[in-house]
Chain A
Amino acid sequence: MIHLTNVTKMFDRFQAIRGVNMTVQKGRIYGLLGSNGAGKTTLLKMMAGIIRPDHGTVLIDGEEVWENPEIKQRILFLPDHVYFFPHTTIEQMAAFYESVYPSFQRERFTRLQELFLLDPRKKIHQFSKGMQRQAAFWLAFSTMPDVLIMDEPLDGLDAVVRQKVKNIIVQEVAEREMTVVISSHNLREMEDLCDCIGILHGGEMLFEKELDAMKTDIHKIQVAFRNGIPEQFAKQLDIVYKEQRGSVLLLIVRGAKQEIISYIQPFQPLIFDILPLTLEEIFIYEMGDVGYAIENIIV
């Protein structure tokens, strides 16, 4: 479990992270969303023990990550610009990872070659950017970390590889309860992968929620009544958004589906549809005023 408590970080006079609290349960995939400069990378580097927070604590399984080799042996950080030692081959890098991470598995490395189709004896710097990223994934998955932290990992990969990588991640999480933190500025990409979403904006955590709970918790309703809207109708509902289109009333309402239905039925509406929201819609409605600021993440 990853647990951040009231974490802050200043770069010179720029406050990059402002009192962030964040929790990632074991065996979950956590999507950290935010526009450019929101502080995603800084937060991830703190979890990886690269940056030390000015205040607050970053704990993994109850222990500080900073300067803690025992914990760091179980974490792997995949940066947005992958790094390899100059003039090394994947084979040499694998040997290095093997010497540094006790969890590294040779057989797995050999097995994964079929998936990535890269020549392990070729110098990594001769590879294209996308291939370098694949190489990084190959090494990361061979290391078998308990916690995998990835900074915008899917950028620059083609659709096929992207799917392959996603599959491995999901598989690892399912099989051995690997914990994953992924940052992204693209909500759609995260939608089918993550269990949990956090939105970071201007160094602050705006919002942190389980995706399933979110989807079952908010609904779009269209109703119409024969004699106009009954006076008592809206009073008992937790309305997030309301719009009248002719005689049809469009509502975004919080609450359990069944409760809403059983509340509305007695009013005997002429039309009554209850629909799920897309993730994008949820964000826009949930976040209200700040929603406009993070629109670019959502679209």
Chain B
Amino acid sequence: MPSKILSFNRGLFVQNLRSVSWIGIVHFLLWFAAIPLQLLMAYSQKEDGGIYLEWESLYSISATFQAMIAFTLPVLLATLLFRYMQGKQSVDFMHSLPVQRAELFCQQTVFGVMLIVMPIALISLLTAVCHYGLSFPMSLTFGDIIRWTWETTVMELFVFAASIFVGMMTGMSTLQVVFTYILLLFPAGITILVLANISFLLVGFPFEYYLSDNLEKIIPFLRYINLEATSLTVGELLAYLLLTILFLIFAIWLYQKRPSEAATQALAFPVLRPIFKYGVTFCTMLLGGLYFGVTQNQFAWILFGYIAFSLLGFFIAEMIIEKTWRVFYKWKGYVYFAAAMIVIGVLIHFDVTGYEKRLPALENIRQVYFGSSVYDFVENHKRPYVPFEQENQFLKEKENIRAVYAFHQQLVKDQPKPSRFTEQRQVVIGYVLKDGKRMIRQYNVPSDLYFSYYKPILESKEYKKNYYLLLRDQGYSPIRQVTFHHPETGERTLTIIEPKQIDSFVEALKADLLEEPASAMFDSSKVWKGDIEFLQSDGDTFILSWKKTYTHVEKWLNDHQLLEKARGDAE
């Protein structure tokens, strides 16, 4: 009976108007304070000749405050509109009325949508009036206002729908609020927890590689703040709208299944109890592992974290479900959980998938990736700047492939565990195979022990030519000026501007760089004498360290009687 579902009940509407519409007013006032009021204040400053900010979009006026409005008001609204479900007497009353649940649901939801959309529409109108009526000398456009309007509406409706959906599963308004925020953070949170814990348990697991920067896009709150910089893409818009619709469809479905007696219970459906209980236990267990993994990085402590936090999580979940703190006799469920976790732990520990031991066949490797960070391995990843020293590189030469492969073979054999007590260095080894497949591993190793494996790679011509900007083919524009800086004060000690001198100096430095031993590249601070700054013809500069090992440079300076000057009074 769709016509029945959409029918409008005046009595309920009047009641909502009386009890909930104040939220709409608060919603409006908050947005008013966040945008039009700020414009008016800026305007009066301008009229008085005072200082005011040049805003580039509506978000830049007050992004964090705006995000706070967008992520609290809809939750409050959903909670209040469906507050009747969470009280024993009110739910009995509402459900005794001759109104179907679907109709009741639609009536409340439509009222909420109204209280979201109307204030936002009004604010965008007011903003347009303020902006154009007062003729601001700002770069805000009509498009900015439209963008703000639809993006904020989409976000608020999304949060509203999520909160209604969550509300159907609990019988307590406070938990409805808490669970809404947990739901919004859940995708990002569980990704971090699982990845981090796998990285503690599996040697070589490249945590950061999987922890891509997309993560911040799936935290809606951060995404809203970031709207200042990048607007929602069509894909994101569709995803938010789809989720909003799905939340509402599932909410209405759950509502029809929801027993009236769910009011005041922590979880409205008995089937949710084990899911909630073990879900909370699992997540807190991972959280404990994460905490002790990050702070202690020792397996015994991580294990302690797992046990202590999972116990804590288990009993807290029980307490929430039972609404009493006397739950400690219910330990049997924990035993099942612990048994399951031990099985999983053993499987990971004995590496049933062979993850830790896996190596591609040498002859299948097209190129290797070697460095200290995973980021440059990401496909189509472009750094926004050119580094002066490029540690992470793809290597194609047979010699280097073999050297990196040998290093990896040794690491697979040794299975180095991270430790806080030796000087650690992160090494990342990746492969691009001939069939296009990619594979990456990340280790923390005591650098001294593995120095012999680093040395042939770092000192190879292929690696070095990519390592230093100065050695890279077409890495830099013609150099117009070379400046020496004092290592402590940073003051200029020597400037070379004569083109011929520059050319011969650069040649000398290049020779030094090519001859530089791996040990100096590893730890330049021990041999550092100062900085050399290069000004290029395009106006950009780059800086290299002046190291004690640079004999050609020393000789060149000496030959031109500039050595004393370049040193300043360093020695």
Contacts and interface: CB of A to CB of B under 8 A. Distances in A.
B352 interface: no
Contacts of B10: 99
B19 A100 contact: no
B432 to A, nearest CB: 57
A69 interface: yes
A160 to B, nearest CB: 27
Interface in B245-263: 256, 259-261
A45 B89 CA distance: 12
Contact of A100 (B9, B18, B91, B101): B9
A49 B296 CA distance: 59
B261 A48 contact: no
A83 B95 CA distance: 12
A86 B19 contact: yes
B97 A72 contact: yes
B99 to A, nearest CB: 6
B98 interface: yes
A45 B92 contact: yes
Interface string A74-94: 011101011101111000100
Interface in A43-93: 45, 48-52, 67, 69-73, 75-77, 79, 81-83, 85-88, 92
B89 A85 contact: no
B9 to A, nearest CB: 7
Given A87-B19, A99-B10, 5 more contacts: A70-B98, A72-B96, A72-B97, A83-B93, A100-B98
A85 B84 CA distance: 9
A11 B265 CA distance: 12
A95 B11 contact: yes
Contacts, number: 70
Interface residues of A, number: 33
Given A85-B19, A88-B18, A77 B270 contact: no
Contacts of A107: none
B96 to A, nearest CB: 4
A233 interface: no
13 contacts: A45-B92, A48-B96, A49-B96, A69-B4, A69-B98, A73-B98, A79-B92, A82-B89, A85-B19, A86-B19, A96-B11, A96-B15, A100-B97
B294 interface: no
A95 B14 CA distance: 10
Interface of A: 11-12, 45, 48-52, 67, 69-73, 75-77, 79, 81-83, 85-88, 92, 95-101
B260 A51 contact: yes
A22 to B, nearest CB: 19
Contacts of B99: 69, 72, 100
A105 B19 CA distance: 25
B141 interface: no
B100 interface: yes
Interface string B1-13: 0001000011110
A150 B260 CA distance: 18
B90 interface: yes
A11 B261 contact: yes
A100 B7 CA distance: 12
A101 B98 contact: yes
A227 to B, nearest CB: 66
B259 A51 contact: yes
Contacts of B96: 48-50, 72, 75-77
A31 to B, nearest CB: 21
Contact of B14 (A11, A48, A69, A96): A96
Contacts of B95: 49-50
Given A77-B96, A100-B97, A83 B89 contact: yes
Contacts of A11: 261
Interface in B261-299: 261, 270
Interface in B7-34: 9-12, 14-15, 18-19
B185 to A, nearest CB: 30
B11 A12 contact: no
Contacts of B101: 67
B441 to A, nearest CB: 50
